[in-house]
Structure 1
Amino acid sequence: MTNPICKEMEPLWERYLRGECTPEEERQAEAHLEQCPACQERLDGAMAAQAPLVPSTPSEESIPSTGKQQRWMRRAKWRNRVSTAFNLFSAFILLSILSGITTGLLYGLGGSSSTSERLPKVLGTAVGMTVPNLNVNSGGVSTGFYFNLSMDYKMSKQIGRQQELYGILHGDMRFNLLNVKREWFGGGYQSNLYFAYPETSGSLTDEDRQYEQERDSEVWKALEMLPEGTVSELAVSLDATYSLEEIYAMFQHYDMDIVWYAFDTGLEQASARQGNFLSGWSGELWGMSSDLMLRYANYSSGLEVWGDGPAKEQAFLRGLQELQKNERWVRKIVHANPKLQERIEYVSEHGARSYGLIVTGPTKELLKLRENEHITRPALGETDWWNWYQTSYSSVQY
C-alpha cells in the first residue's frame, strides 16, 4: 500500500514526474521533498519502477526522461559539494581561532619569563655582546595563527651623539623552531672595527710589528685628514686588561663617549695567538654596550657615565648567564660555539676586565688618543657630520 500524496504535492505530482513543471514549481516541489519523507519515498519508488504512482493509465509520457534524471543527479551532487565545502571552511575558521588563542597562551603566559618577553631580550643581548657598538633597540613581538611568533627590532649604532639605523633583526618562531634574519638597509653590514689582545704583541716578528705600526699610522693619519666638523667611531686596543674604574681614570678627561667594552673571558688569548683579530660576529669577541649594561644592572636610578664600574662588570656577567639559559637561540646569532659556561666560570673567578673600547666623539678629540700610552692599536669605524650636541627634537619616518 502506498502513502497518500501530501496536499502541497498533489497538484504538482504528475507534472513533476514528467518534468513539465515551471522553474518556480520545481523549486517548490524539491523544497517539499526535502521536508517530507513520505513523498520522497514515493518519488524513489516511482523512479525505481519508472512509472507514476498516481491512478492513471501507464504511459511513456509519465516516465521521467533520462535528461531529467541526470539533471536531478547533478543538482544532488552540487548540493553535496557545497555542503562539504561549507563544512570544511567552517572547520578551518574554527581551527584558526582556536590556534590563535592557543598560540597567544603558549608564548605569552609567564610574564617576564614568557617566550614573547625572553626572545627579543636574548637576541638583542646576543647581538649587543658580540658585535661592537651595534644595539638592538625599538621593535615589537606579535603572535599569529598556528603557533607562529614573529619579532622585528631595529639595529643601530651610536656615531657621535646620534643613533644611526643600520638594519632590522627579524625573528620567526613556529613550534619553538627559531629562524633569524638580518635585513641591512645598505644591502650589507661592513665594519672595520677589531681588537688586538694585549699579550700577543710580544710574539710578533719584526716584520709583522712594522706592518702593524704602518697600519696604525694610517688610522691616525685619516683622523688628521678628516675635517674639524665631524664625529667618528674608533676602536682602541689597550696594553693590558683593566677594571672599568681604572679605565675611567685613564680616559675621563677626553670629550668622548665609551659606547662598547671588550671584555676578557679567558678564551681570547688562544684565538689571538693564531694571528686572528678579534672582531664582531665571530663568536670570539665578547663585550657589552653601555645600553645593555643599563638593562642588566640592578640600579633603578641609572648608572654614572664615568663611574659605577663594579655594577657594570656585574651586568656583563649577568648578560652571559642570561645567554647561557637560552643558548640554542644564541646560536642563531653566533654560529660558532659560544662556550658560555667556560666564559662565565672565568669571569666569575677573575672578574670582568676590559682590553679594548669603542669610543665616539669629535674627530679631533679622538686624534688626541694617539698620545695615550695605554693604547696599542686603533681601528677607524664610521664618520659623520657634526652632531656632538643634544637635539631638542628628533623624528624618523619609515
Structure 2
Amino acid sequence: MSEEFKQKLKSYSEGTLSGQEKEEVEREMLKMEAYQEYLEQLTELDDQENSELGRQPLPTEGGLKPGREKKIIRRGKWKARFMNAWTVISAFLILAVVSSIITAVFYSTGERSETYSDVAAAALSVSRPNETVHLSTGQNTFFSMDMNGQVVRTIGDEQVTAGEMSVNMLLGWARLGQIDRLDRNAGNGSIFYYPLNKTINNQGADREEWNRLEQLPEGTVAEATLSLNRLFTVDELLKQFEHRNLQLLWFAVDSGPYVHEAVVTTPLGFPYHPQWRKVDMTVISSETEKRGWFTRTFSSVSQGPSVEEFGDGKLRGDYFMKTLYLLEEHPSITSRVAPFIRLKEAIPYLEKNGIKLYGVVVTGPVKELLKLKEEKWISNLRVGEVRLWNWRDRER
C-alpha cells in the first residue's frame, strides 16, 4: 500500500476529502481488504484517543457520521469474503462437472472400463488357484473409477464367497488394489511340489494329508491340490480325469526356473473353465427396445467358444497365453492384484517350451478323492476346504 493512499485513507477517516475522492476511496476499500484493515486500525486509534480524552467523536464538515467508517469497512470485508467463497465454490463445481465429463469419455472410449475389469479379474484367476471374481465398475469424479466384486471358490458344486476384491483406477493407472478375505487361511492348501525337484522330501506331509482325507465323513465334498510326478500336457492331464466323478478347477503351469527350486507357493496357471472376455464372445441374438421419445435399450445374448470337456488342450493353452499378454499390457493393475507373478520371465519361457502342467486343483466327494491315492502319477495331495454334501455326479 503506497504512502499516498495511506494519507488518503487518513483524510477519509477525518472527513476532509471531497465527494468524488470519498467515492474513489470507498470503491477501493470494497475491493482490497488490506486497505480496509489499515483504515480500521486508524479508526480504532481515533476511538482510543477520544476515550482517553473523555470526548465523543463528532463529525467534521463534509465528514462521516460516527461509526459510518466501521460499517463501510465491515460491509466491504463481508462482501469480499462472500465473493471469494463464491469464486472458490464456483470453481469447484465447474471442475467437478468438467472432470466428470472427461472421466466418462475416457473410460467409455475403447471400452476401457471393461478392459480394466477384465485385466483385474484375469490377474486373480491366473495367480490364485480356484479363485474367480466378477467385477462391477463405478465411475467417479476427478478421473477415477472403482472396481469391486466378490471373490468366490468352488467347493463341490457350491460357489463359496472367499472375500471382497477392490481396485481403484486413476485414468489408466491402478492406485489401490486389495483383497479382503473372510477366512485368512482359505487357499493355504494350494501348495505344489515341482516334479523334477529331487531335493524335497514331502512323503511325510503327503501321508498326513491322506490320513486327514480318510478321516473325513463320507457325506462330504472337499477341495484338493494335487502335485504330479512329471510334467503333463493339458490334453494328457484332462484324459486322466475323463471317467472320474470329480470336477477339475485349476491347472498349475511350469512357468520358468523359479518354480523348479522349491515348494511352489506362488503358482501361475489357469482355470479349467476359461474366463472369456467380451471380445472372445459371439453374439447369437440381440434386441433393441424403444422406451419413450429418445430412449432405447439394447440387450444381447452371447456365448464363448465351445470347449471339449476333456480336450482342446491347445485352445486352453493359447487362451492362457493370450491372457498373459493382456496382463503384460497393463502392469499397474497386474502388480496391484498379483504382485508376485513374474511375467517377464514366464512369457518367454512358455513361448519357448510350451504349456506343461505340474499340478491341478480338483473338487468332489471325499470317497472319490481317496481313489487317487493309488495313482502313481500323483506325487502329493493337500486337502483344502471341506463342505457337506452338495454334489451332482459326473462319472460316466
Aligned in 2, Cα 1:217/1:66: closer, same or farther, shift over 3 Å?
same
* Residue equivalent to 1:9: none
Structure 2 counterparts to residues 103-118 of structure 1, below 5 A: 103-111=103-111, 114=112, 116-118=113-115
Structure 2 counterparts to residues 324-335 of structure 1, below 5 A: 324-335=328-339
Please report the TM-score for the alignment, with normalisation by the length of structure 1.
Answer: 0.73
Take 2:387 and 2:353, find their aligned partners in 1: how far apart are those partners?
38
* Residue equivalent to 2:6: none
Take 2:157 and 2:384, find their aligned partners in 1: how far apart are those partners?
15
Aligned in 2, Cα 1:383/1:297: closer, same or farther, shift over 3 Å?
farther
Q: Secondary structure at the match of 1:238?
A: strand
Contact 1:294 1:303 in 2 (8 A): no
* Residue equivalent to 2:300: none
| 1:174-205: CA deviation from partner (whole Å, max 9, x where unpaired) | 2544221112224675512211111113x45x
Contact 2:206 2:381 in 1 (8 A): yes
2:158 is aligned with 1:165: no
* Residue equivalent to 1:152: 148
Q: Secondary structure at the match of 2:360?
A: strand
Take 2:234 and 2:25, find their aligned partners in 1: how far apart are those partners?
99
2:322 is aligned with 1:345: no
* Residue equivalent to 1:288: 270
* Residue equivalent to 1:251: 241
Q: 1:292 corresponds to which letter in structure 2?
A: P
* Residue equivalent to 1:214: 204
- Give the CA deviation at 1:317: 1.5
Aligned residues: 322
Take 1:148 and 1:84, find their aligned partners in 2: how far apart are those partners?
28
Aligned in 2, Cα 1:188/1:80: closer, same or farther, shift over 3 Å?
farther
Aligned in 2, Cα 1:214/1:70: closer, same or farther, shift over 3 Å?
same
Contact 1:297 1:312 in 2 (8 A): no
Contact 2:107 2:171 in 1 (8 A): no
- Give the CA deviation at 1:255: 0.5
2:197 is aligned with 1:200: yes
Take 2:325 and 2:62, find their aligned partners in 1: how far apart are those partners?
89
Take 1:251 and 1:189, find their aligned partners in 2: how far apart are those partners?
25
2:124 is aligned with 1:136: no
Structure 2 counterparts to residues 261-272 of structure 1, below 5 A: 261-268=251-258, 271-272=259-260
Paired-residue identity, %: 28
Contact 2:220 2:366 in 1 (8 A): yes
* Residue equivalent to 1:302: 306
Aligned in 2, Cα 1:62/1:255: closer, same or farther, shift over 3 Å?
same
Runs (4 or more) in structure 1 with deviation over 4 Å come to 40-43, 59-63, 187-190, 293-299
| 1:296-337: CA deviation from partner (whole Å, max 9, x where unpaired) | 97883432322222211211111222122223332223334x
- Give the CA deviation at 1:289: 0.7
Q: Secondary structure at the match of 2:67?
A: helix
2:385 is aligned with 1:382: yes
Take 2:351 and 2:65, find their aligned partners in 1: how far apart are those partners?
93
Take 2:25 and 2:263, find their aligned partners in 1: how far apart are those partners?
93
| 1:65-113: CA deviation from partner (whole Å, max 9, x where unpaired) | 23122112211221222122122211211111001111222232112xx
The unaligned stretches of length 5 or more in structure 1 are: 1-39, 48-58, 391-398
| Structure 1 or 2: more strand by fraction | 2
2:182 is aligned with 1:185: yes
Take 2:276 and 2:74, find their aligned partners in 1: how far apart are those partners?
72
Please report the TM-score for the alignment, with normalisation by the length of structure 2.
Answer: 0.74
* Residue equivalent to 2:9: none
Which residue of 218, 223, 229 maps to 1:233? 223
Question: Please, what is the CA RMSD of the aligned residues?
Answer: 2.8
Q: 1:106 corresponds to which letter in structure 2?
A: F
Which residue of 329, 340, 362 maps to 2:365? 362
